[in-house]
Structure 1
């Protein structure tokens, strides 16, 4: 293996040649972002390209023995050409471009030999310059674009920044999530990929909105702009008789005025079409101008691609459309249906921390989850003029969840068995209206937004066991079998409104005025009862259980922001005044509080040059407790946990600050990103815990004990010839005060991780990636504990014999705890596919978890619990699948 790698490297260095230099104008000024293209003058050789940095420097990595025509172009300047002979020894060349003397509007740009076009905040990739025609999906094309990376979860980053909005032909694709696009849009439909930084859906707001969004817009080939395309795929298990199968379809119709898409998927191998981020985007239904409202529905189980189960059955369908009614009105909509069944099995060894002793529990949890989700959404985009935009969005969603779990708890040789049944029906209606207006002199712009949401949830929990539990914490009556039923009725309603005025004094000074109101109510009823075997009912209300809460929180605020620019330094200090009104009504007492707070903010950015910047953000905030923390009576949470709220809780108050540095240099092949976050709570809500064995009683309290949290993330990527080396680190330090069994301790939870990845960065070689990650975790408080994890990963992707492709990925994880107990597990996947270019059929033989590893092992800790967890996963799955491309 080492010999092979050596020969591979030796082969590269014997066939590589580097040409460097500068691009400047006739006065010697550097021309940043000039395009430098090397066109081979022989067949079967690819274009080489570079983009000049802010010093005008460029670097081309050329093949030895190949003649090239090197062209340099820049808007407003005459093109320069350099011819290189096949055996040229030229290592350095400096270009000087002369102005055309023509008006910009008269310049015609020939895109044929320009694989990348760079504008102020837009990058345009010509797909034909990077793809070889064997790619099936958009994902495979993006992986070949310089500076673009696609994660396993379908996320896309460009030069280290994550794409937050995905579009096709300038219109949002399936809500703007990237996963559906990269895994379903056929590669042969792509013409160009546009990357737009500081994106704003309302063009005239871009100058004032300070958007940090990064959008990717897919431009289709001319013959695909009014065309039906997509593919169908079917797969079945071939090695065993477990019944594993896969059916998938992705169909698209695009025309200038009408777009229709359908994606369907049925499988039982743990593959999920949606990521959690995609689901959250679809379930949003709220304007991006009003943020901070907590999500009310937990959709995690519908969206995670999950093989950490012993059984998984998934059915998914999504329909999306856009219709241009006329030049001023567009209608968009989507519908989603998901049906999911999972069976899980996990084992854990738990160590409960107490003041002077420890309690150990061996726990086995086996569960079944049946879930159904439906979402319908419609959006109207109305543009009565170039200076006015209206948006209206309405969404309805429903979900049902039926969860059954069997828990076996063994402690001190005693075995207890519990069955927990959870049923929940949830429905929600959300809508928002946006209006944006720019006035004639363009120095004044206004925005008005209103959000409304209503949610109705009816969860029911049942606990069944033949053993008395939570003795002294719940009012059980002696019986031969115990059946406890809990019924919750939750209704949440919110209305949020914002009016914002943007005033551009001049190019260096802006003033923004904000007036808004956030109004929210919650109605919460909880009952707990014991159903005895003789037919009688023991109502826990007589023992202090049962809650009936009406909750209202209103936040009216006025804010002023002043944005000014000094040279390359842009600042935006702001001061908001918030008037909070909190009112609760419960069985025992009512509570009302009114608070007025000044909440300053400061955003600052210094742009050293177009590819290097430093950003700083600071904010002082207040967060009022939600309804569940204010419950005045007891609530049963699990087989070993009881909770009681605190009706007198006040708001948390905290400082947040972040510092972000970014630098990219195509000349040096360098990308560097570092982010430091700081959070300090000066008013803190934290649970006071009473622990007896494994039984927990918790209640929240407000304290002046500070909590500090530091987080650092860094990523350095460097291209050395045709190898890219990536270093990353993720560090966190969390200090807080915890009260356990009447004893107050200062706790520290710290985590550190560092990683190294080396991968090939050329189309001529197989795609090879080798990675190593090392992580450390420490906890100190009542006791001290630590964990270490070592993860080695390997990915390999090769095209061979013209029509074949082989892929494999392998990962091995080593765990070790503070007691020197060591565990490890290995996961590997592989696939072999055959696809003849321009042929509609594709065949694939895949092996998921080919090592047939049955478990995953990890360690964790919390305020009072240290756990060693073993999760059972899907067995080896070997499938043969056939796909047909329309």
Structure 2
């Protein structure tokens, strides 16, 4: 089956190659009348046939250029260079290769007219790359995502995420204002293509313009400029669909823009595989950038709910509203709110191999989930003058998550039937206040005050006719066993961050920083047994009354030095003082530490397209409060978690060498070589008896390390592009099983090949092939897993018809367990849209092969786990869309 697939793909690539061979090349040089080369001249060829996209190039250091063109087509050639008269001529390419040299004359009085009347298709100015959209599209594109796919150097994946220079776009703006929640997916799938005039990719973005040259930023932002006359307009889509077995979907997306007021409304109701709001969306609107903040989001009730994407049935309701008011350049107000309600069904089969006993457990879970999420955020920006910016934002979210599961656990000793009910409720409040002040060209300051308050309530219930629980849980003998674990977590954080940037010379910037944190956290939980009596029986040893107060001070100084034009040296040091006091039910514990943390980076920018960077930093992290408990917690019927009140800080050193060479058309290369060292890391101390496991936190006296390498290359032409992404990761680790310390290591090798075409009049394809190898070994166990994913899609616009098909094939092979499986998803779409008509009708199908399940695996310190999940069944929908 796989061989046939590759034969078809190879044949299709041959066809693509043949189509590409109808082109020829046009090359030459651009000089002035004295024979000096002109670097950066724009050479643009406008075809008389409007169905053919224009061709263009920019002259290099030697004044040379090279462009791919089509034979026997009449072009209008335009060559422009600032300060020189433009050159214009008509040309038809008959030969296979055409070479011509051009000489430009200096302009005397018409320079301003030339600059005003001509805008190059691509313009690079410092950290901003601008694309004139009309130079790349043919008018058949419906959404922004289709436009972006035709812009050289930009990649859009199926989820709607946007990448530029191998970096992911973090936020989207329209006319310099944040679009809805700022998520690229919302923009690429909702903004109409015909309103877009220009796309700007802004690197090293800073919301406060005068801070850009003082503060380093890795943020990449996309800004959309609208066509003239589109500043006051209403646009959007209303999509509706019905399908087999009562499937339905209703998706309105309405946008109202004006220079001062913006309204966005997005809704979605469906029982299809699609979910409008994902974990990556939540991370984007939450704004978390640091690792610990992202971990907290993953562990939050909302984060845990959004991680569940393995449902086979779903009722999804989503609504979001965004409002922006900009009466003038001084005031800017923005508010948005969203809500989501989901009911999901999951069916999962697990095969656990526990460490180090090698005992096998097979578990089946049938889970019903009912989940509700509400999120709101308000932002106000005050800019009284060019030198002052004040920002205030307030956010609140609330969640209510419920799940009810029927489970069967089977191993060599017994078969256990039990039910599990989980309830999680969460409330979170966040406030940030920022002030940025420009005093002079030498002095700039910023201050930020943040307040964060989070509360979570949870209840876990296990119910079985038999005593299925670990022997470490002391239970009374009854006819029916009911165990309840309840708890409340509270976390409050107050954070003050001050910075002052001083530039004594044009090439030197010194930054002084001060950060103060005050964190208060608590956890009250207990486990009880319902014996049928009026009062529950408390389970001895399974309760925690924990409170913690942490103070952290960080004082820093960094020096940024511009050595000539290409080299930037940035180095500094952080002086940290940390203190925390933990209160337990029977005792108190304190910890105090001083740290000196160096940081440095050397950046060599050969030109705007090539750069080399070497960085080093040392950081410390505090152990999470819930890992410092003194009591036990029931995590599952066979899993007990115990804290360690004597944990200390861990230190991580990170060194990274990276190189990038970027071209809009041609070959681009991105490479990284990294090393990470963990000093005194915190690991899991595992005590096991068969499948009954106890886990506690343990701090090592020695270190572990890891290595990572990535080599990513891409080659882009006007009508096609190919890329190869390779990554290698190696990690040394230490595990503790039943008091014995053992060494382990893991290797992960990943290769990703992508090919896509962007023809105007021919079918287009996109092919992604991913090969992944994972190996884990310790003295008790070794696992080797190979996974191959083939993702193929094709699309074709024929007159008023649009055809799309997709094919995903997964091959899974566990060599250690001698298990293998394969899985595929086949989808298709056919839509009809008459030009100038607001209506579109079509048919859409998902999982045409009606595959039932998909396999994967996972390893952690407790066990090796193979997972087989039930997938969403075949879905066929008839859609009617209305474009406003």
218, 222, 230: which one aligns with 2:224: 218
> Deviation of residue 754 (structure 1)?
1.3
Q: For the Cα contact (< 8 Å) 1:53–1:666, is it kept in 2?
A: no
- Whole-angstrom CA distance in 2 between matches of 1:767 and 1:206: 40
Q: For the Cα contact (< 8 Å) 1:287–1:434, is it kept in 2?
A: no
325, 350, 353: which one aligns with 1:351: 353
Q: For the Cα contact (< 8 Å) 1:165–1:214, is it kept in 2?
A: yes
Counterpart residue number, 1:837: 835
- Whole-angstrom CA distance in 1 between matches of 2:744 and 2:525: 34
> Deviation of residue 88 (structure 1)?
4.9
Counterpart residue number, 2:556: 559
Counterpart residue number, 1:67: 74
Kindly report which structure 2 residues correspond to 1:435-450, keeping only aligned pairs within 5 A, or say none: 435-439=435-439, 441-450=440-449
1:469 matched to 2:464? The reply is no
Q: For the Cα contact (< 8 Å) 1:148–1:158, is it kept in 2?
A: yes
Secondary structure of the corresponding residue to residue 174 of structure 1: coil
> Deviation of residue 103 (structure 1)?
10
Counterpart residue number, 1:250: 253
Alpha carbons of 1:40 and 1:417: their partners in 2 closer, same or farther (altered >3 Å)? same
TM-score (norm. length: structure 2): 0.95
> Deviation of residue 154 (structure 1)?
1.6
> Deviation of residue 749 (structure 1)?
1.3
Alpha carbons of 1:16 and 1:533: their partners in 2 closer, same or farther (altered >3 Å)? same
Q: What do residues 429-464 of structure 1 show as CA deviations (whole Å, max 9, x unaligned)?
A: 11000000101x311100000110111111111111
- Whole-angstrom CA distance in 2 between matches of 1:302 and 1:725: 36
Alpha carbons of 1:111 and 1:258: their partners in 2 closer, same or farther (altered >3 Å)? farther
Q: For the Cα contact (< 8 Å) 1:33–1:118, is it kept in 2?
A: no
- Whole-angstrom CA distance in 2 between matches of 1:422 and 1:539: 19
> Deviation of residue 642 (structure 1)?
0.4
Alpha carbons of 1:302 and 1:28: their partners in 2 closer, same or farther (altered >3 Å)? farther
1:679 matched to 2:681? The reply is no
Secondary structure of the corresponding residue to residue 280 of structure 1: helix
Secondary structure of the corresponding residue to residue 229 of structure 2: helix
Counterpart residue number, 1:814: 811
Secondary structure of the corresponding residue to residue 175 of structure 1: coil
> Deviation of residue 577 (structure 1)?
0.2
1:794 matched to 2:792? The reply is yes
Q: For the Cα contact (< 8 Å) 1:402–1:423, is it kept in 2?
A: yes
Counterpart residue number, 1:282: 285
- Whole-angstrom CA distance in 2 between matches of 1:488 and 1:76: 73
99, 116, 121: which one aligns with 1:115: 121
Counterpart residue number, 1:176: 182
Q: For the Cα contact (< 8 Å) 2:283–2:294, is it kept in 1?
A: no
- Whole-angstrom CA distance in 2 between matches of 1:787 and 1:17: 46
1:232 matched to 2:235? The reply is no
- Whole-angstrom CA distance in 2 between matches of 1:420 and 1:97: 79
Counterpart residue number, 2:593: 595
> Deviation of residue 467 (structure 1)?
1.9
TM-score (norm. length: structure 1): 0.95
Alpha carbons of 1:2 and 1:688: their partners in 2 closer, same or farther (altered >3 Å)? closer
- Whole-angstrom CA distance in 1 between matches of 2:419 and 2:462: 6
Secondary structure of the corresponding residue to residue 139 of structure 1: helix
Counterpart residue number, 2:3: none
- Whole-angstrom CA distance in 2 between matches of 1:344 and 1:70: 61
Counterpart residue number, 2:503: 504
- Whole-angstrom CA distance in 2 between matches of 1:309 and 1:478: 37
- Whole-angstrom CA distance in 1 between matches of 2:430 and 2:319: 21
> Deviation of residue 655 (structure 1)?
0.6
Alpha carbons of 1:494 and 1:33: their partners in 2 closer, same or farther (altered >3 Å)? farther
Counterpart residue number, 2:519: 520
Counterpart residue number, 1:484: 483
Counterpart residue number, 2:146: 140
> Deviation of residue 115 (structure 1)?
2.5
Counterpart residue number, 2:47: 40
Secondary structure of the corresponding residue to residue 128 of structure 1: helix
Counterpart residue number, 1:150: 156
1:387 matched to 2:387? The reply is yes
> Deviation of residue 170 (structure 1)?
0.6
Counterpart residue number, 2:271: 268
Secondary structure of the corresponding residue to residue 606 of structure 2: strand
Alpha carbons of 1:105 and 1:555: their partners in 2 closer, same or farther (altered >3 Å)? farther
User: How many residues in Structure 1 have an aligned counterpart in Structure 2?
Assistant: 873
Secondary structure of the corresponding residue to residue 849 of structure 2: coil
Q: What do residues 641-676 of structure 1 show as CA deviations (whole Å, max 9, x unaligned)?
A: 101101111111111222221111245x11211223
Q: For the Cα contact (< 8 Å) 1:190–1:219, is it kept in 2?
A: yes
Kindly report which structure 2 residues correspond to 1:305-344, keeping only aligned pairs within 5 A, or say none: 306=309, 308-344=310-346
Q: For the Cα contact (< 8 Å) 2:680–2:703, is it kept in 1?
A: yes
User: Which is further off, 852-861 or 425-434?
Assistant: 852-861
126, 129, 136: which one aligns with 2:132: 126
198, 201, 205: which one aligns with 2:207: 201
Counterpart residue number, 2:191: 185
Alpha carbons of 1:583 and 1:108: their partners in 2 closer, same or farther (altered >3 Å)? same
Alpha carbons of 1:515 and 1:13: their partners in 2 closer, same or farther (altered >3 Å)? closer
User: Which is further off, 17-26 or 863-872?
Assistant: 17-26
1:623 matched to 2:630? The reply is no
> Deviation of residue 26 (structure 1)?
5.9
- Whole-angstrom CA distance in 2 between matches of 1:768 and 1:573: 47
Instruction: Name stretches of at least 5 consecutive residues in structure 2 with no aligned partner.
Output: 1-7
Q: What do residues 687-746 of structure 1 show as CA deviations (whole Å, max 9, x unaligned)?
A: 110011111101111112312122222221113684422111121111111100122111
- Whole-angstrom CA distance in 2 between matches of 1:2 and 1:633: 59
1:636 matched to 2:643? The reply is no
> Deviation of residue 206 (structure 1)?
1.0
- Whole-angstrom CA distance in 1 between matches of 2:672 and 2:16: 34
Alpha carbons of 1:681 and 1:27: their partners in 2 closer, same or farther (altered >3 Å)? farther
1:850 matched to 2:852? The reply is no
> Deviation of residue 27 (structure 1)?
6.6
> Deviation of residue 287 (structure 1)?
9.7
Alpha carbons of 1:878 and 1:105: their partners in 2 closer, same or farther (altered >3 Å)? same
Counterpart residue number, 1:424: 424
Counterpart residue number, 1:402: 402
> Deviation of residue 365 (structure 1)?
1.0
Alpha carbons of 1:655 and 1:7: their partners in 2 closer, same or farther (altered >3 Å)? closer
Counterpart residue number, 2:433: 433
Instruction: Name stretches of at least 5 consecutive residues in structure 1 with no aligned partner.
Output: none
Q: For the Cα contact (< 8 Å) 1:273–1:305, is it kept in 2?
A: no
Counterpart residue number, 1:371: 371
> Deviation of residue 769 (structure 1)?
2.2
Counterpart residue number, 1:656: 654
- Whole-angstrom CA distance in 1 between matches of 2:506 and 2:294: 31
Secondary structure of the corresponding residue to residue 280 of structure 2: helix
1:454 matched to 2:461? The reply is no
Secondary structure of the corresponding residue to residue 78 of structure 1: coil
- Whole-angstrom CA distance in 2 between matches of 1:262 and 1:607: 43
User: Which is further off, 704-713 or 9-18?
Assistant: 9-18
Secondary structure of the corresponding residue to residue 658 of structure 1: strand
Alpha carbons of 1:126 and 1:828: their partners in 2 closer, same or farther (altered >3 Å)? same
- Whole-angstrom CA distance in 2 between matches of 1:331 and 1:791: 45
Q: For the Cα contact (< 8 Å) 1:418–1:639, is it kept in 2?
A: no
- Whole-angstrom CA distance in 2 between matches of 1:58 and 1:420: 68
70, 83, 92: which one aligns with 1:76: 83
The CA RMSD over aligned residues, in Å, is: 2.3
Counterpart residue number, 1:867: 865
Alpha carbons of 1:482 and 1:34: their partners in 2 closer, same or farther (altered >3 Å)? farther
1:19 matched to 2:22? The reply is no
Q: For the Cα contact (< 8 Å) 1:289–1:449, is it kept in 2?
A: no
> Deviation of residue 423 (structure 1)?
0.9
Q: What do residues 154-196 of structure 1 show as CA deviations (whole Å, max 9, x unaligned)?
A: 2101232221120001101123210111111111221211111
- Whole-angstrom CA distance in 1 between matches of 2:306 and 2:700: 37
Secondary structure of the corresponding residue to residue 681 of structure 2: strand
> Deviation of residue 811 (structure 1)?
1.4
Counterpart residue number, 2:731: 734
